Amino acid sequence: MSPAEGAATIALRPATPDDAEALWRLQRALAADGRGMVVLPEEIPDSPDEQRAQLEGFARRPGDLFLVAERDGVVVGSVDVTRIPRLQLAHNGYLTMGVHPDAQGRGVGRRLLQAAVAQASAAGVLNLELNVLAANARAIALYRSMGFVEVLRRERFLRRPDGSWLDDLLMILRCE
């Protein structure tokens, strides 16, 4: 399947509390893969209850968004934007995104990111920020292609269990 075909079969929709188990499984897959997520597999809760609580919380906060990408009814990715809950900072949002390792490279992340940027901007978010491991070249290329720019590099930010260090980048997109 080509990347274009993979993206064409993806449906995006708002996440609901009923997605808790699917998102929990997605987190487990991303943590096991280890390339982009800073959470270790043993740090993922034993059940999807925590994920359900997070989804229920999103439904109560205006301006936040949480989208899932589905392929053939299976959640293969997610993106969320959390607005800073202070009046003078509410124009800023923090973005997190993950795509199942088996679905990466097929346009899922791009579709999620485009939808999140459009919806956040329409809701009044002027600045979107995200963190990405400096070693995650594919994610950085995607973010740059969407207009995100690196504003800070934190050296030796993440320490792996084997003692090795990874740098982190803070990237920002001006939506105005």
Contacts of 162 (CB under 8 A, 6+ apart): none
Using CA atoms, how far residue 117 sits from 42, 88, 126, in Å, is 32, 20, 10
pTM for this model (two decimals): 0.89
Judged by DSSP in three states, 169 sits in strand
Domain residue limits, the chain: 3-130
pLDDT tens for 82-136 read 998 888 888 999 999 999 999 999 999 999 999 999 999 999 999 999 999 999 9
Q: Which CATH number fits domain 3-130: 3.30.1300.10, 3.40.50.10490, 3.40.630.30, 1.10.10.10?
A: 3.40.630.30
Give the tens place of pLDDT for each residue, 121-160: 999 999 999 999 999 999 999 999 999 999 999 999 999 9
